[in-house]
Structure 1
């Protein structure tokens, strides 16, 4: 699916995490926490005590997944060794490098675990307005689910996409068009960009939001996954040197390798110093469910979504939220496919719409389509040396909330008004 430095003194800009509704920006980049895991998992109302307990359990479950990583991957490597030793002796003798390669993978697993351990170190205090206490014996590691381990492996690959030189081509294909349009729509030579408020929902490890803030715009990232939040806190707050740390993101891929060394090749991060933002930067991160966190109307000049809208249970909720939070005249810039995350997941609401249907709803809300490209190729956490690659044929669009809205908040087309009449200046 679309899915890890050492602490420095706060002489540069840091990124702190805290809990809504109190967003506080100071010399640190503040990250606010604002969602209930109970609501996120089930959308069922529960008492504040139950809500807090479920939230705490989920927090510690994710921390445990980070700690369980070494055990989990070593089990996979050990299985490969057992299967090798089941081969006839004359076959084993033909594969003289097989066991040495497995030992290289084991070494890489241990190096990855060191980084993951650093990520969860001090996670108890990463949110400035939320504490989770202790969870029994901190040395005890419990088995994690396959689902959680897959999420963690995806998070490791996210470091390649967001914070390595190896991910530059991928970032250029999907982040760069968004950034260029923000600069075109809010040109630095014609407006005070520090007063232009940009929201990046589904910000992952924060690179897109960081790049926008680095250009001087007031930018806030939003993310709900603890896997991503722990990791973004680490890279934004604990990294102050370029390429100081190393991960081995491809060691979990035992198939489609052209060379054995491809599986164990290292990736250094971060490719830039995340703390190199200008001193007057207005950059923040908010943890929580996008729909629940952002309810204040007409607060944002721009909402930038990248590989995000298909993470919704019901994408119409996202459209409605974006309409509500944009200022009149504000713009929504989107880039991504429609790989619905909850499709085929038992007991999860999932409404899978075509782009045609989504576009029709967007126009019915009253948005004006200013630019549209229906076939923009892009990858996501791609292993560029793999024999199997996925290429997304993405949609890129810019839509604007009219400065003068329809009467009484009714955004549906009036009699005789077609959806096409709401669409202007689109280009494919």
Structure 2
């Protein structure tokens, strides 16, 4: 594929995501309007009994309006944060008559709003303690501040989302880079990390689209303030960056990272073996991989996508076969993801927590010989921004 075609596809993808954010208000209000129209068809007696429900629908519209104010901040001048931004004019995002966002894209916009709660609110603290704290604790155990300056240790966080785990690692003195492929998450992380106005200055209504399993109407409409900390207040010498792009394409330098920390990430691959293989290659001999999460396998039931979905038992064989030494393994670790704590229905993962070390003397898992040189021709890198 030539560069002009690449640029065209890049531009179209970018505009598609901008379009989804900008469509949020119309999409959400239209959904409420459909409910109102159905309500108006009910018998007069039924409508009388549902008078408070009608008021609730009006409150939902106010919540959507408030969420849209956050979205406008997220997409404001967003094209200036990426390379090749001259190819993109976000003002044209809604100009195409065939520009209707897909239901899947609208769900991702809603998921981004929930992610602000998980990563950057007091309400998300329990989730972060369950998912992020074990990773941070292991990292601090392996690299105590007293032994060597943490600034000399490079930590990579693929699938960084809105950047909170990478932020916390950088705040503890490590040189840390977050990597994210999803433009939905990248738009959100750029906003929260670079343009946020200060602690608890913003409010989102994350559960406004969750119309089922609500014990109280207020559970659906309540607001959550964020961010719980000022993201710009890192220690003076903190080294923190975010890289946009495909993990397999960007990270091709062997033996570079002291640690790769993954949380709810490795099951995002069509081929989980490729993720584990790349993690092994880029970690320095003696370095560690810390992983926590389930095996949801995002592409498993996605139309038009191919995927493999091995059990954890088989994934463990892959990890050992590639060359890792498993130093810590815990199963049944209770975790949630962007969970509404007031919902009548809650999902909980029995996640796996692993700490794996790359041996000081690494060997090729393909032929059992010392791995002196690895051909990276299959992984052409994209630019880190």
Common fold by TM > 0.5 = yes
Deviation of 1:138 after TM superposition, in Å, equals 6.0
- Render the CA deviation track for 1:286-326: whole Å, top value 9, x for unaligned: 00000000001111000000000000010000011001100
The residue matched to 1:208 in structure 2 has which SS?
helix
Instruction: Pick from 102, 105, 109 the counterpart of residue 64 of structure 2.
Output: 109
Give the counterpart of 1:214 among 171, 186, 189. 171
Report how far residue 365 of structure 1 moved. Answer: 1.3
> Which residue in 2 is equivalent to 1:73?
28
Alignment of 1:359-398 (within 5 A): 359-398=316-355
2:128 aligns with one of 149, 168, 171: 171
Give the SS at the match of 1:97: helix
Q: Separation in 2 of the partners of 1:376 and 1:337?
A: 9
Deviation by residue 1:352-388 (Cα, 9 ceiling, x = unmatched):
0101101011111111110000110100000000011
Match of 2:48 in 1: 93
Q: Which residue, out of 170, 185, 188, partners 2:142? A: 185
1:50 aligns with 2:12: no
Contact 1:202 1:221 in 2 (8 A): yes
Is the CA contact (8 Å cut-off) linking 1:240 and 1:274 kept in structure 2? no
Cα deviations by residue, 1:90-147 (Å, 9 ceiling, x for unpaired): 1111122111111110001011011101100011101266443325646748431101
Counterpart of 1:263 (choices 184, 195, 220) is 220
For the residues of structure 1 that align with 2:85 and 2:32, how far apart are their CA atoms?
38
Structure 1 residues 133-142 or 85-94, which shifts more?
133-142
Distance 1:137 1:289, change over 3 A: closer
| TM-aligned CA deviation for residue 391 of structure 1 | 0.3
Q: CA separation in 2, counterparts of 1:170 and 1:345?
A: 27
TM-score by length of 1: 0.83
Answer yes or no: is the 8 Å Cα contact 1:313–1:350 preserved in 2: yes
How far off is 1:258 after superposition?
Answer: 0.3
Q: Distance in 2 between matches of 1:235 and 1:155?
A: 12
Q: 1:216 to 1:135 in 2, by over 3 A?
A: closer
- Shift, 1:64, TM fit: 0.7
Q: What whole-Å deviation, never above 9, does each CA across 1:235-260 have from its counterpart, x for those lacking one?
A: 00011410000100100011100001
Aligned counterpart for 1:332 among listed residues 289, 298, 307: 289
- Partner of 2:183 in structure 1? 226
Q: 1:302 aligns with which of 244, 252, 259?
A: 259
Q: Aligned equivalents of 2:367 and 2:335: distance in 1?
A: 33
- SS of 2:176's partner is strand
Answer whether contact 2:321 2:365 (CA < 8 A) is retained. Answer: no
> Structure 1 pair 70/273, CA: closer, same or farther in 2 (3 Å)?
same
Indicate the residue corresponding to 1:21 in structure 2: none
Change (3 A) 1:393 1:413: farther
Provide the rounded CA distance (Å) in 2 between the counterparts of 1:61 and 1:390. 30
**Structure 1 contact 198–217 (Cα < 8 Å) conserved:** yes
User: Any conservation in 2 of the 1:365–1:412 contact (CA below 8 Å)?
Assistant: no
- Which of 219, 237, 241 aligns to 1:284? It is 241
- Structure 2 residue runs without a partner (length 5+): 370-385
**Superposition RMSD in Å:** 1.5
- CA distance in structure 2 between the aligned counterparts of 1:308 and 1:320, rounded to whole angstroms: 14
**Which whole-Å CA distance do the structure 2 matches of 1:139 and 1:354 have between them?**
43
> SS at the partner of 1:369?
strand
Asked whether the 8 Å contact 1:364–1:413 carries over to 2, the reply is no
Length-normalised TM-score, structure 2: 0.93
Distance 1:136 1:97, change over 3 A: closer
Match of 2:76 among 121, 125, 130: 121
Question: 1:205·1:231 contact (CA, 8 Å) conserved in 2?
Answer: yes
* Residue of structure 2 in register with 1:252 after alignment: 209
Three-state SS of the structure 1 residue aligned to 2:168 is helix
Contact 2:18 2:90 in 1 (8 A): no
Give distance in 1, aligned partners of 2:141 and 2:163.
22
- After superposition, the Cα gap between the structure-2 partners of 1:207 and 1:139, relative to the gap in structure 1 and judged at 3 Å, is same
Match of 1:158 among 115, 119, 140: 115
- Which residue does the alignment assign to 2:311? 354
Aligned length: 367
8 Å contact kept, 1:200–1:219? yes
